[in-house]
Structure 1
Amino acid sequence: MGKAKLDDYIEQGIYGAKQIKPDERRKFLGTIRERVVITLTTSQVMEAEPYPEVLNAMKENKKAQLLLNGNLDYSYHSKYIKRVTELSMEYTMVNNKDYHSELGLVLAYDYAIDQEEIYVAKKDAPSSNQEKNMAENEENEGKGLFSAITKIFKKD
């Protein structure tokens, strides 16, 4: 055995087998981005109602595996675990004491699918139309006749 192979063998014995994209694997609960169908953050998983986008993705991707962040309490995962068992799918609770991922749920295959959009928007986040309407209201505030009259009689 050559010196380089011997060093690799010793390192593998000490640190374990080398992984491809270890940072990405930690973030996506043990898998890599190109295999992911859909994800939820930990705060989204902790919400009372399950996300319909995830439930639909689970129904459409029954061969995928659901990865759940084991750092969260089981009560938050139960609504998704119930659905997984109804669909006879596999799920895994992923515990990594060295790294706390911001993702609470990942639905992924064991091969690449290159899904373009994997992140689900938060339920209470305003849509772009709502943001646009709020911005227009703020711009128009103070431009009407009533606003002008109010400014005249307003005490400074």
Structure 2
Amino acid sequence: MTDLHEFIQQQAAGGLKVKPDEQRKFLETFEERVIVDATLEEINNPLLKEYFSHILTAIKADFQPVLVKISPMMTTKDQLFYLKTAQDLGCESTIVSEDCQSPLGLVIHTDHAVEIEDKDMMTRYAPLLLPAEEKATQKTKKLSFWKKLFQ
């Protein structure tokens, strides 16, 4: 009888969690399901906000289903922007609970394990998310290299 009572108490409290530290870090999901993530600092990048729908569309073309988890630590305006954009594109999106303390502001994941080495959004989508000055500098550097090579 005691075992049944303990079981009911555990289930009422939410049950046991597998890898709770990992779930806290990745906004209540597992690391192997994460497609791409962004930190709290990166989500304020105006270029990320501008190209977020393009990035999410590209991810949806490769993975199904796509789920978006949003940190409770960002501003309400930003939360609503990412939530509405994801829902407009047909992705399930949620703002995670307040007790989830994570350096990540946004996690895009699926419901099964995926093999992705680089999960950082700013690195994977650098051509879109680099400021115009950095793009111009990179092009100039490439041109000067070729000029040096063929002169």
Q: 1:50 aligns to what SS in structure 2?
A: helix
Tell me by how many angstroms 1:120 deviates.
2.4
Where structure 2 has 5 or more consecutive residues not aligned to the other structure, the ranges are 124-128, 142-151
Distance 1:115 1:19, change over 3 A: same
Distance 2:46 2:18 in 1: 36
TM-score, reference length from structure 2 = 0.66
The answer for the alignment partner of 1:48 in structure 2 is 46
Where structure 1 has 5 or more consecutive residues not aligned to the other structure, the ranges are 134-156
Q: 1:49 aligns to what SS in structure 2?
A: helix
Tell me by how many angstroms 1:112 deviates.
1.2
Whether 1:102 aligns to 2:103 is yes
Tell me by how many angstroms 1:10 deviates.
6.7
Indicate the structure (1 or 2) with the bigger Cα radius of gyration.
1
Tell me by how many angstroms 1:18 deviates.
0.7
Amino acid at match of 2:59: A
The answer for the alignment partner of 1:16 in structure 2 is 14
Amino acid at match of 2:63: N
Amino acid at match of 1:109: T
Equivalent in 15, 18, 34 of residue 32 of structure 2 = 34
Tell me by how many angstroms 1:11 deviates.
6.2
The answer for the alignment partner of 1:113 in structure 2 is 114
Deviations 1:55-107 (A, max 9, x none): 3325543521100002211222344334313311110001233x420000001
Moved more, 23-32 or 78-87: 78-87
| Number of positions where the alignment pairs a residue of Structure 1 with one of Structure 2 | 127
The answer for the alignment partner of 1:74 in structure 2 is 76
Q: 2:47 aligns to what SS in structure 1?
A: coil
Q: 1:110 aligns to what SS in structure 2?
A: coil
TM-score, reference length from structure 1 = 0.64
Q: 1:88 aligns to what SS in structure 2?
A: coil
CA contact (8 A) 2:65 2:111 kept: no
Distance 1:75 1:17 in 2: 33
CA contact (8 A) 2:42 2:122 kept: no
